[in-house]
């Protein structure tokens, strides 16, 4: 039987004066956590806002910089949330879920940023992935699953079409926005009705379920981010994707697993960490991971200066080009310039910040993903990207479909240059 009573809720635990031993002069552990966390939070906020401001006033590529500003805002939001968790430790859950919820939008923004490095809009992105070659196999552990479950005939096979590969990653990332928001609302509502119980991992409370669902969702989202990076690492190398993905991955990893580790370590069953005369339970549970996260946000705010610089977006900056989907055709295709527009950030970049904070594109992206999952996925092989790739469904060499028996001995001439020349011939046509 599980205990249905939350016996150690943080709302009932108050750090009274004199309950913690002085560590440094008149300062207790909680005082030191406030000072260290607050100082690092100020550094993180100032550096991140400065970099965001420089992007906003040099808003020459809105489709890319919109997502960069969103990513940069993750640092001040996490830093502010962590400091407020230390100060208002009795109500820390309300601040924690805000930063956790924003994390999902930062991951989606990073994915969207990489997509806009590929092509300027969704239509051209789909064309890029439709022609993408080669399609790399799933990274670990799905490659192991595929080897154990039928290889390319099993459920973990690598998609034949680059567009299908793109849509799978799209869903794996954008679904996290919906799940994270849903779990945030669940946490707030159950906390209000005293059914969340952050100090307990009992299944009768919402805490363990929220943590588990978020863990699964963020693992899928980060896996898709890594898969996308592995596939696009070489085509996007001039954008330094490794540094960008590292900055995102470390923030997500540290913010989630630090809190999860402390939650497990302070569980009533394990009791790895217990309060003593130096540190009270709220400081073990809340202040310690929050103060550490504030320090880490200060470090990440510095890392972002190199990972997401504003210099490439200053008018007159170095010209960059969109990648080609197939290296075999790179010499036959003229590179397309990723052009700079006139700065459109408005007065002090306010228009850029308003544009970046508009979440409507996330809603549309999630809707597109769900539409493909429940409808488009069933008809995915009707896409031209499946022609001639071994599926046989739209290949003229496979004439097993009804009504095609008279063409059994005919082979396709689409791949022959001379066929294209005849189709474009002006013979017997007026000039």
Structural domain containing residue 65: 10-381
Tokens 């969103």 correspond to 70
pLDDT at 3: 60
pLDDT at 99: 86
Flag whether 165 is in a domain.
yes
Q: Residues 100-128: what's their mean pLDDT?
A: 93
Residue bearing the bigger pLDDT, 121 or 420: 121
Q: Residues 109-136: what's their mean pLDDT?
A: 93
Q: Residues 6-30: what's their mean pLDDT?
A: 67
Q: Residues 236-240: what's their mean pLDDT?
A: 91
pLDDT at 151: 66
The per-residue b/e assignment along 35-51, b for 16 or more CB within 10 angstroms, e otherwise, is ebbbebbbbbbebbbeb
- pLDDT bin (cut points 50, 70, 90) of residue 195 is confident
8 A C-beta contact, residue 207 and residue 198:
yes
Residue bearing the bigger pLDDT, 419 or 333: 333
- The model's pLDDT over 372-418, given as tens digits with 9 standing for 90+, comes to 999 888 888 888 888 755 444 443 333 344 444 443 434 444 444 44
- pLDDT of 419 > 50? The answer is no
Beta strands in 57-214 (DSSP E): none
Token duo for residue 365: 């992206």
Overall number of domains in the chain: 1
3-state SS class at 345 = coil
β partners of residue 322: 336
Segment (H or E) for 368: helix 360-374
DSSP string, 233-274: TTTTGGG-HHHHHHHHHHHHHHHHHHHHHHHHHT-TTT-SS-
pLDDT at 424: 43
pLDDT at 16: 61
pLDDT at 65: 97
**Closest by Cα among 37, 113, 114 to 78:** 37
Flag whether 343 is in a domain.
yes
pLDDT at 19: 66
- pLDDT of 274 > 80? The answer is no
- pLDDT bin (cut points 50, 70, 90) of residue 330 is low
Residue 425 has what DSSP assignment? -
Flag whether 404 is in a domain.
no
Alpha-carbon distance of 424 to 49, in angstroms, equals 56
**Percent of the residues in the chain that have a pLDDT greater than 70, as a whole number:** 81
- The model's pLDDT over 331-359, given as tens digits with 9 standing for 90+, comes to 777 788 999 999 999 999 999 999 999 99
- pLDDT of 43 > 80? The answer is yes
Compute φ and ψ for 336, nearest 5 degrees: -100, 130
8 A C-beta contact, residue 105 and residue 70:
yes
Token duo for residue 79: 């830093």
Least confident of 93-107, 129-143, 193-207: 193-207
- pLDDT of 328 > 60? The answer is yes
pLDDT at 360: 94
- The model's pLDDT over 131-146, given as tens digits with 9 standing for 90+, comes to 998 888 888 888 777 7
Flag whether 400 is in a domain.
no
Residue bearing the bigger pLDDT, 28 or 55: 55
* CA geometry: angle 151, 232, 145, nearest 5 deg: 20
Flag whether 182 is in a domain.
yes
Token duo for residue 312: 């490439």
**Closest by Cα among 284, 226, 216 to 256:** 216
**Closest by Cα among 385, 405, 429 to 167:** 385
Mean of pLDDT over the chain: 82
CATH number at residue 75: 1.20.1070
Flag whether 308 is in a domain.
yes
pLDDT at 4: 67
pLDDT at 385: 80
pLDDT at 418: 43
Task: Please count the other Cβ atoms lying within 10 Å of the Cβ belonging to residue 18.
Answer: 8
Count of all residues that appear for the chain in the document: 431
- pLDDT of 2 > 90? The answer is no
Q: Residues 90-112: what's their mean pLDDT?
A: 89
Flag whether 5 is in a domain.
no
User: Which of 92-101, 202-211, 236-245, 390-399 has the largest mean confidence?
Assistant: 236-245
8 A C-beta contact, residue 39 and residue 293:
no
Flag whether 431 is in a domain.
no
Taking the model in full, what pTM does it have? 0.83
pLDDT at 50: 97
- The model's pLDDT over 288-320, given as tens digits with 9 standing for 90+, comes to 889 999 999 999 999 999 999 999 999 989 999
């Amino acid at each position: 039987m599980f205990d249905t009573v939350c016996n150690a809720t943080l709302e009932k635990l108050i750090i009274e004066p004199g309950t913690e031993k002085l560590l440094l002069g008149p300062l207790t552990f909680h005082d030191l956590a406030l000072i260290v966390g607050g100082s690092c939070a100020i550094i993180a906020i100032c550096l991140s806002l400065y970099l965001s401001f420089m992007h906003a006033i040099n808003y020459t590529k809105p489709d890319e910089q919109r997502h960069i500003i969103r990513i940069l805002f993750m640092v001040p939001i996490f830093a502010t949330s962590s400091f407020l968790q230390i100060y208002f430790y009795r109500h820390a859950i309300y601040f924690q879920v805000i930063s956790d919820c924003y994390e999902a939008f930062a991951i989606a923004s990073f994915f969207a940023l990489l997509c806009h490095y590929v092509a300027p809009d969704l239509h051209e992105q789909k064309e890029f992935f439709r022609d993408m070659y080669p399609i790399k196999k799933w990274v670990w552990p799905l490659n192991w699953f595929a080897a154990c479950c039928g290889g390319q005939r099993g459920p973990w096979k690598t998609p034949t079409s680059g567009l299908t590969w793109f849509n799978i990653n799209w869903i794996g990332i954008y679904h996290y926005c919906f799940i994270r928001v849903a779990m945030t609302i669940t946490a707030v509502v159950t906390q209000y009705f005293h059914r969340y119980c952050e100090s307990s991992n009992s299944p009768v409370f919402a805490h363990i379920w929220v943590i588990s669902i978020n863990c699964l969702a963020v693992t899928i989202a980060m896996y898709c981010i890594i898969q996308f990076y592995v596939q696009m690492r070489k085509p996007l190398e001039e954008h330094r994707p490794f540094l960008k993905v590292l900055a995102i991955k470390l923030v997500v990893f540290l913010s989630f697993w630090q809190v999860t580790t402390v939650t497990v370590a302070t569980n009533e069953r394990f009791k790895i960490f217990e309060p003593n005369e130096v540190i009270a339970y709220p400081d073990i549970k809340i202040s310690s991971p929050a103060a550490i996260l504030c320090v880490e946000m200060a470090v990440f705010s510095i890392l972002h200066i190199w990972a997401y610089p504003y210099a490439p977006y200053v008018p007159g900056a170095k010209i960059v080009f969109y990648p080609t989907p197939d290296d075999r055709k790179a010499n036959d295709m003229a590179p397309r310039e990723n052009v700079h527009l006139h700065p459109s950030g408005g007065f002090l970049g306010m228009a850029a910040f308003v544009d970046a904070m508009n979440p409507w594109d996330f809603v549309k992206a999630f809707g597109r993903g769900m539409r493909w999952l429940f409808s488009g996925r069933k008809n995915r092989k009707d896409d031209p990207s499946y022609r001639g790739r071994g599926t046989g469904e739209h290949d003229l060499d496979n004439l097993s479909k009804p009504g095609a028996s008279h063409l059994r001995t005919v082979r396709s001439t689409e791949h022959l240059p001379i066929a294209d020349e005849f189709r474009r011939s002006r013979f017997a046509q007026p000039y």
